[in-house]
């Protein structure tokens, strides 16, 4: 009983720690004054201004486009690569996989710097293109690492069987292999999208001065005073995710309860 109480208190403290800054941001998105310590009354002013602020909206747009495109491209490349890797011999495959691991164990800072040096070296001007390339580049290894384990679980004979039954290789891939590795592909999409949205360091080094992601915009303001409009935007984004999570969670819980009920009936 006491142990249980202790556990609950512990978890409450942890969640308090995790959510205190989030709460502060949400509260201050409704704060009349710009100050970050004083409550000056309730207002929706910042939300109204947010939708007129071209700079912030553009940054949001760049962030979303880069996240979506880099997630899709890197997942597609990773899927194709994994299919190819699967039919390579063991030695070559493990060599490639080892190199793929490199970005995972390289600090973000070094990755960002090294990509910046690469673009500088080949004379590519930093901007949207380099930003996107950089995101695809750091996403691909994560996508491959999410998809390749699914191939390990895949029955090698499945593909052969499909061919024996008269499928062309392309058909066999689409009809047989893809459905099998789908969970991996979905994980890859989620992971790369999240990583791209969250990234600051690599974007900071590769975006140049003409484009800006949300993270870069926030960084340039953060030391003095963050524009409350950014708080408003984050609140909106946060609430969107929260509502979706709750909806899905409620639905799966209900599904599960239904299933359990059916199970009980069958007994």
Partner 1 sequence: MRMRRLAYPYVLWMAVFTVAPLMLVAFYALTAYDADGRLFFTLQGFRNVFATDNTVAFNLFGLADLLGFNLQVPIYINVLAKSLEIALISTVVCLLIGYPAAYILAKRSRARRGQSNFWLFLFIMPMWMNALLRTYAWLALLEPMGIVNTFLGYLGIGPFQFIYNDFGIGLGMVYNYLPFMVLPIHSVLVKISPSLIEAAEDLGADSTRTFLRVTFPLSLPGILSGINMVFMPAMTTFLIPDLLGGGRYLLIGNAIERQFMVSRDMTTGSALSILLMIFVLASMRILTKYEQESSEGGLLA
Partner 2 sequence: MKKVVLILLLLAVVVAATLSGCRSGDGKTILTVYNWGEYISRESDTIAWRGREYEIKDVIAEFEAAYPQYKVNYQTYDDNEKMYAKLDTESYDILVPSDYMVVRLIKEGRLQELDQSRLPNVKKYLDRRLDNLTYDSDQALSDKVSNYAVPYMYCTVGLLYNQEEITPINANDPTEVWDILFDPAMDSRIGMYSSMRESIGVALNYFGYSLNTLDSGELDQAKNLLIDQRKNVRPLVGIDELKDKYVSGELLAGVVWSGDHVVCQIRLEEAQEDPDKLQYVLPKGSNLSVDMLCVPQNAANPDGAHDFINFLYEPEIALINAVYVGYSTPHTEALKGLPAEIISNLSYYPDEETMQSLEIYYSSEAIDSTYDRIWQAILAN
* Binding to partner 2 in span 20-49, by CB under 8 A: 35, 37
The C-alpha atoms of residue 90 and residue 95 are separated, in whole angstroms, by: 9
Q: How far, in Å, CA of 188 to CA of 211, rounded?
A: 26
Q: Between 37 and 54, whose beta carbon lies closer to partner 1?
A: 37
- Ordered alpha helix ranges (H), 29-127: 45-50, 54-86, 90-105, 108-121
Distance CA 139, CA 143 (A): 6
Of residues 211 through 240, those in contact with partner 2 by CB under 8 A are 220, 223-225, 240
Q: Which C-beta is closer to partner 2: that of 104 or that of 194?
A: 194
Q: Does 137 bind partner 2 (CB under 8 A)?
A: no
| Piece of the chain touching partner 2 by CB under 8 A; list 13-21, 56-64, 95-103, 168-176 | 56-64
In the complex, least distance from residue 49 CB atom to partner 2, rounded to whole angstroms: 11
Please choose which of partner 2, partner 1, none residue 20 contacts, taking the beta carbon within 5 to 8 angstroms, the exact cut-off set by kind.
partner 1
Which partner from the list partner 1, partner 2, none does 168 bind, CB cut-off 5 to 8 Å by kind?
none
Closest distance to partner 2 from the beta carbon of 261 (Å): 23
CB of 151 to partner 2, least distance (A): 19
Token digits of residue 228: 């409350």
Q: Please name which of 177, 170, 173, 185 lies closest in space to residue 154, comparing C-alpha atoms.
A: 177
Instruction: Please give the Cα distance from 248 to 236 (Å, whole number).
Output: 18
Query: Scanning residues 159 to 218, which ones bind partner 2 (CB under 8 A)?
Result: 186-187, 189-190, 193-194, 208-210
Residue (3 or 165) nearer to partner 1, CB? 3
For 106, the token pair is 């390289």
The radius of gyration computed from the CA coordinates of the chain, to the nearest angstrom, equals: 24
Q: How far is the CB of 45 from partner 1 (least distance, A)?
A: 19
Cβ 46 vs Cβ 34: under 8 Å: no
Residue of 26, 64, 83, 96 interacting with partner 2 (CB under 8 A): 64
Strand-pairing partners, residue 42, are: 31
């Amino acid at each position: 009983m006491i142990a249980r109480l202790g556990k609950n208190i512990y978890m409450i403290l942890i969640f308090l720690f995790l959510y205190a800054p989030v709460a502060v941001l949400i509260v201050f998105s409704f704060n009349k004054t710009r100050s970050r310590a004083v409550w000056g009354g309730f207002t929706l002013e910042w939300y109204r201004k947010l939708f007129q602020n071209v700079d912030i909206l553009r940054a949001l747009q760049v962030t979303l486009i880069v996240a979506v495109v880099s997630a899709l491209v890197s997942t597609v490349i990773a899927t194709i690569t994994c299919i190819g890797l699967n039919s390579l011999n063991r030695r070559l495959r493990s060599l490639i996989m080892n190199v793929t691991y490199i970005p995972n164990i390289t600090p973000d800072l070094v990755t960002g710097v090294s990509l910046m040096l690469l673009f500088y070296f080949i004379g590519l001007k930093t901007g949207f293109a380099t930003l996107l390339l950089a995101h695809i580049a750091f996403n691909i290894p994560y996508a491959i690492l999410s998809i390749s384990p699914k191939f390990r679980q895949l029955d090698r004979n499945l593909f052969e069987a499909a061919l024996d039954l008269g499928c062309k290789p392309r058909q066999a891939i689409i009809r047989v292999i893809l459905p099998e590795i789908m969970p991996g592909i979905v994980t890859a999409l989620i992971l790369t999208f999240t990583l791209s949205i969250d990234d600051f360091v690599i974007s900071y080094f590769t975006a140049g001065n003409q484009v800006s992601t949300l993270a870069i915009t926030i960084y340039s303001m953060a030391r003095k005073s963050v524009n409350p409009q950014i708080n408003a935007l984050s609140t909106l984004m946060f609430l969107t995710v929260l509502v979706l999570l709750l909806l899905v969670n409620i639905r799966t819980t209900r599904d599960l309860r239904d299933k359990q009920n059916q199970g009980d009936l069958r007994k």
